[in-house]
Amino acid sequence: MASKRVVCLGLVAVFLAPLLSGCFGVEELPIVEQKGIPGGLTLACLDDSKYTSMVLEIDYAPGYQPDTSSTNLLLQRLESVCNKPLGINVIFTETNFLNNGDWSASDIREASEDTKSVSPRDGSVLTWQFMFPSGMYEDESVLGVAVDASTVALFKDTIDDAENIFRRPSAEKIENSVLVHEAGHLLGLVNLVYTSPADHEDPDHPGHSNNEDSVMYWAVESASISNFFDNELPTEFDSDDIADLEGLADGSIAISSQLWSP
């Protein structure tokens, strides 16, 4: 098996500096080349010249189906930023993942390969896969992870544990926010495949927002989430996040590492 490292990244740091674990698991070449990095299919989502529709493939282990509030929110948020004139469909599939225990980024990538129904880019359809396996990530503080340009995993066991005794915030609300947060990484937020003209990346948590009202705030995917929010969690991209996506869509912000460009 290829060696791996798991990084929370600023883009340049991806291949150079293994940092603390967290939101992104990035494999050594050549898998990175094939699958891209989180943000590698940002333009495929923001632009409609080739990919006119999109599928959100929700693959869950028995008993691990996400709340409909989470997938509805995911759909709303992606509909609000991605240009898909023929629509975005959500497809749910109960799935037997072979791994039930500790997950590494490469385990997730392998499971994705085994379970995804189609290629991420199939004709005019862009497919992003969201996996809900049993078990936890190897770093048990991680609630969700984006492992390549089209693959996310959420760890419901860890999310349930992150709910505090007062259920404020509840596991459902945490799942809502983490799911949108990881989709935000697939959209390249924050500064994964570009450099924002706005100063909104948290220098201590690369790839994340410094605004606690943004769903891309760094604490959203951490098991310590209950320490930072007492009930209301952010579920929306903030104005800087949205401005970044608009700038990427209209070409006014340069973008790199794309698997597809118009």
Local structure of residue 111 (DSSP, 8 states)? H
Q: Which is nearer to Zn ion, 8 or 46 (CB)?
A: 8
Q: Which residues contact 128 (CB under 8 A, 6 or more apart)?
A: 41, 45, 54, 55, 56, 57, 120, 150, 151, 152, 183, 186
Q: Which is nearer to Zn ion, 50 or 139 (CB)?
A: 139
Owner of token pair 């862009």 = 126
Q: Is 121 exposed, middle or buried (0-12, 13-18, 19+ CB in 10 A)?
A: middle
Q: Which is nearer to Zn ion, 48 or 244 (CB)?
A: 244
Q: Which residues contact 199 (CB under 8 A, 6 or more apart)?
A: none
Q: Which is nearer to Zn ion, 221 or 244 (CB)?
A: 221
Tell me how far, at minimum, the Cβ of 21 lies from Zn ion, in Å.
11
Q: Is 85 exposed, middle or buried (0-12, 13-18, 19+ CB in 10 A)?
A: exposed
Tell me how far, at minimum, the Cβ of 219 lies from Zn ion, in Å.
9
Residue 122: Cβ within 10 Å count: 12
Q: Which is nearer to Zn ion, 43 or 220 (CB)?
A: 220
Residue nearest to Zn ion (CB): 23
Tell me how far, at minimum, the Cβ of 100 lies from Zn ion, in Å.
24
Tell me how far, at minimum, the Cβ of 185 lies from Zn ion, in Å.
6
Q: Which is nearer to Zn ion, 23 or 147 (CB)?
A: 23
Binding site for Zn ion (CB under 5 A): 23, 221
Q: Is 236 exposed, middle or buried (0-12, 13-18, 19+ CB in 10 A)?
A: middle
* Beta carbons of 137 and 158 less than 8 angstroms apart: yes
Tell me how far, at minimum, the Cβ of 208 lies from Zn ion, in Å.
5
Tell me how far, at minimum, the Cβ of 227 lies from Zn ion, in Å.
16
Q: Which residues contact 127 (CB under 8 A, 6 or more apart)?
A: 54, 55, 56, 57, 116, 117, 118, 119, 120, 121, 150
Q: Which is nearer to Zn ion, 27 or 221 (CB)?
A: 221
Tell me how far, at minimum, the Cβ of 23 lies from Zn ion, in Å.
3
